[in-house]
Structure formats: C-alpha cells, structure tokens
Amino acid sequence: MAQTRFQTLLTDPRVAEARALLSAALQDARASVPAAIVPPDPALQGGYQAMMERFGEARGRGLFFPYLGSGLGRGAFVELADGSVKLDFITGIGAHPFGHSPMELLDARLDSALSDGVMQGNLQQNPESLHFSERLLAEANRSDVPNPAPPIDGKPRFRHCFLTTTGAMANENGAKVLFQARAPASRVLAFSHCFAGRSLGMSWVTDKHAGRIGVPKTLDVDYVPFFDPERPERSSQHALAVLERHLERYPKQHAFFILELVQGEGGYYTGTPAFFRALLERCQQAGVGVLVDEIQSFGRTPQLFAFQHFGLDDLVDVVTVGKLTQACATLFTHAVNPGAGLLSQTFTGATSAIRAGDEVVRALRERGHAGPGGRNQAIYDRFTAHLLRLQAAHPAWVAGPFGIGAMLGFTPFGGDSKLANRLLTRLYDLGLMGFNAGSDPTRLRFLPPLLVVTDAEIDFAAELLERGLTEIAAEANLA
Ligand SMILES: Cc1ncc(COP(=O)(O)O)c(C=O)c1O
C-alpha cells in the first residue's frame, strides 16, 4: 500500500525499538508511583516552596492550590514536585480524562513528537485534524441516541467542525457564526449563573461580576433563570415567561441563546428535557439560534453530548466541546456555515492535543461510557451512593443535587462558602483534589479521570471526603 515518508518513519525499526523502550520505562515509572496518598519528601520540600513563591511572583498571584506536578502519575494518582502523591479527582477541571502518565496516549504523543511541527493551524493542517473533526461530527450525528435529529437536505445535521485551542475561543467562534447567520441581530440570551469563558466576548456572557471588572462591555446579554430542582414546575414557567419578556422587549434582536445543559462553574446544576425543550423550541420559533456550550460536560454525561442525553438534537445549531477533548472545537450546521474570512487561526491545536483528543473520544465510545448502563452512569451511581450514605448519617454535612454522569457535585455544610472552602483545602491536605463551584450555595465538585478511575479509587475518594467532612464539622461544632 502506498504510504508517505512520514508513515515510513513511524514504522522505522529504530522508532519501533525506541517506542518499546520508552513504553517499558514509562510503565516502570508509573508502577513506582504508589496507589496511595504519600506525604512530601522533606528533601524536596524547601525547593518546592521556593518554586511556589517564584511562580506566584511570575504570575502576579499565587496558585489556587500549592500544586506543581512532577510530570509523573499513575492514572488517578499524581506525583507532585515535592515528591508527594495525591488522588486527583479534579484533573485540571476535567482536562485529563486518562489521568496521569497514561500509557494509552503514549503512541499518539510519540508520533506527534516525530511529526513535522509542534502546532497545526489553518494554513497547515495534517490528517489528524481531519480525523478528529470527523470523529466529533460522527458522535454529534449519532442515530442511537434518545432523540436523533432528522437529516437536513439528506445530510446529517452537524456538517462542520472548526478546531481551536481553548474553550473560550470555541465559544467565540460559535458566537460569530451565529451573529453572522442572524445579522443584524446583536443581542444574546444566556442562563443566569452561566460560565462561557474569559475572552472579551465571553466575559460578558459569563454571569460573574468579578470576571468583567474594568472590561469594556462587548455584548448585550439578557439572562433567563435556570431550572430549580426544588420548584420544577414553577421555575420552568418562570424561565419561559422571562424569555418571552426578553423576546418582546427586543424583537428580532437576539442572535442566539448560549447555554450549558449542565452548569459547570455555576454549581453542577442541570434541568429536565421538558425544561430545555420548551425554551429552545421558543427560540427556534423566534429565529434565535441555539449554541450549546459543552466545554465542561462533553464526554461526561450519560450520552457523550449532553444535548443527546436531553433529546435536544433537533434544536441545536452550534455545539462547542473542550477540556477532555484536549483540542477544542465548534460544530455547526450547514445553514449557519459562515462566509470566508470569519473564522481563521494560526493555531488550531498542538498535534499531540489533536491526536490525544481523537484517542479520548474513541476510548469513551469503545470503553462503553455512553448510554444507559454506561460507565459514566456507573461512576455517578457509585460516588452518589457514598454521598447518600453520608447525607443520611449527617444531613447538615451533605446535600444534593449531585451532578450528572462523571460530573459529581454536592453542597457541603448548607453551602456556607467559608466552610466549603475550608473543606476543599482540608481535602487537598488529606490527599484528595476537588474544586469548588457556584456560590450561594458554594458547592464542591469532582471530575475524576473517567476513562481510568476504578471503583476502588471512587471508594477511597469517598473515604477521604468523609474524613475531611468529619474534621471540619468537629472544628465548626456541627453535628
Ligand atoms: C462551560 C464552559 N465554557 C467555556 C469554558 C472556557 O474554556 P477555556 O478555559 O478552555 O477557555 C469553560 C471552562 O471552564 C467552561 O466550563
């Protein structure tokens, strides 16, 4: 079979030998990382502290956690540069689905190291960009989901995929696509407490004051309240009424509704199919585009795309993915495909990120993460069983809702932000890494390395969580 010189290089016996040696070395190094919490090595601690201070100085502010990875880990366990080992249940907010030092990505990364350049971009892309785009499109167009979208002009609904380097940029690209398609409409609809990134445009979509202090206004955004699980009927009616008021107040002026189906930074809240459908059908009727932001949720919900889980396939014009996909992407229908010149970038991603993203999505599919009875649901069920047990024993310590799929969240201590953040820090010290989400109530979230996390590791995380809760409750004199 004909092959390129690059393909020949990949099969060169010296490369095969080096690959085997590197694989064995990494395998051994991984095995040397204990599957346990390990305290810092006193001989490394001084240097670590100094690096932390220098980093704070270089960045202009300290790191959230005193975390600098050593470069080695073993799935859910990671070694830090002070020699300590922690259980990583946040994975850079969902960016390391294979955990640390994954053998599964070694070939992709070695091939990328031999590939001609570090980065790919619009003018110079290699076949892996095509393969990754096609895989994402195939996943978005699946027919074995609860409510598959009918074809458009005999073709699958999502026809196009534009790669980029960050989630914020994927959203910016999606926003531009829909602004052009709905020009001259210039307003945007979004959910209260949403997060869409920190670019100039997205910081005005993101419903967080701190993220836009001093930033000139770039977009007019009208907010719609999110689903309230405590008042499902009333909150659904209220959201629809608020949407209606915005549409009446600014007729034909909204280009699109940008929404997370699972609010990530907002606190791991989600809605029901009926809640989302009612709002999005009204948008469709009013000629308002629908941009679903799945930067945080993609790959983690019980179907790989959250819009598939909620059966909204027929209502989405643009969907964005990121984080666990390594390289980010904007997928859209042909009807909104923009004219030349609107989208272009020097960099669409590092070759290794694009190859790794392709492997991640393939693994999510092939390892049975999607669908009823899939691994994402099993991760949720296992972790949630622990939360329910803790909640039953200590109702003041733990409250739901608990997230969805491999996005795990709960409200500690009634959502008191001081106690929640103390718990987060205590868990870090005990060796379990999680993160906060939302405010009023402040919640805790976990994004385990879903492709490799074991049931035993989930149980161990729950054990550390219980220890942290017990200690903070004792300090705060809570029953
Ligand atoms: C829902 C959502 N959208 C967009 C972004 C922005 O992604 P990035 O940080 O890669 O720019 C994030 C990041 O947390 C996110 O959670």
Residue closest via CA to ligand 1's atom 10 equals: 167
**What do you get for the CA distance between the two ends of the chain, in Å?**
71
What is the per-residue pLDDT across 77-94, written as a single tens digit (0 to 9) for each?
999 999 999 999 999 999
- 195, 305, 404: which to mutate for ligand 1, most atoms within 8 A of CB? 195
Ligand 1 first shell, C-beta below 6 A: 93, 166-168, 171, 195-197, 260, 264-265, 293, 295-296, 322
CA–centroid distance, 324 to ligand 1, in Å, is 11
Residue closest via CA to ligand 1's atom 3 equals: 196
**Which pLDDT band, with edges at 50, 70 and 90, does 1 fall under?**
confident
CA–centroid distance, 170 to ligand 1, in Å, is 9
Lowest mean per-residue pLDDT among 264-268, 308-312, 406-410: 264-268
Residue closest via CA to ligand 1's atom 7 equals: 167
CA–centroid distance, 216 to ligand 1, in Å, is 20
Nearest ligand 1 atom to alpha carbon 296: 16
Residue closest via CA to ligand 1's atom 9 equals: 167
CA–centroid distance, 167 to ligand 1, in Å, is 5
Q: Which residues make beta-bridge pairs with 262?
A: 270
Q: Which residues make beta-bridge pairs with 445?
A: 409, 435
Q: Three-state secondary structure along 51-108?
A: HHHHHHHHHCCCCCCCCCEEEEEEECEEEECCCCEEEECCHHHHCCCCCECCHHHHHH
Is it the case that residue 479 has pLDDT exceeding 90? Answer: no
Residue closest via CA to ligand 1's atom 8 equals: 167
Residue closest via CA to ligand 1's atom 5 equals: 197
CA–centroid distance, 93 to ligand 1, in Å, is 9
pLDDT for the residue numbered 440: 87
- Is-above-0.95 flag for pTM? yes
Length of the chain: 479
Rounded to an integer, the average pLDDT of 387-405 is 95
**Cβ atoms 77, 33 nearer than 8 A:** yes
Q: Give CATH for domain 113-366.
A: 3.40.640.10
Residue closest via CA to ligand 1's atom 13 equals: 197
CA–centroid distance, 140 to ligand 1, in Å, is 19
Gyration radius of the chain over CA positions: 23
What is the per-residue pLDDT across 250-302, written as a single tens digit (0 to 9) for each?
999 999 999 999 999 999 999 999 999 999 999 999 999 999 999 999 999 99
Is it the case that residue 36 has pLDDT exceeding 80? Answer: yes
Domain positions in the chain:
1-29, 33-88, 113-366, 375-449+459-475
How many CB atoms sit inside 10 A of residue 233's CB? 10
Spell out the residues 6+ positions from residue 233 whose beta carbon is closer than 8 angstroms to its own.
Answer: none
**Cβ atoms 387, 410 nearer than 8 A:** yes
CA–centroid distance, 168 to ligand 1, in Å, is 6
Nearest ligand 1 atom to alpha carbon 202: 4
Nearest ligand 1 atom to alpha carbon 194: 1
Question: What is the CATH T-level fold of the domain 375-449+459-475, as seen in this structure?
Answer: Aspartate Aminotransferase, domain 1 (3.90.1150)
* CA 146 remoteness from chain centre: 22
The CA-based angle 95-101-104, given to 5 degrees, is: 85
**Which pLDDT band, with edges at 50, 70 and 90, does 401 fall under?**
confident
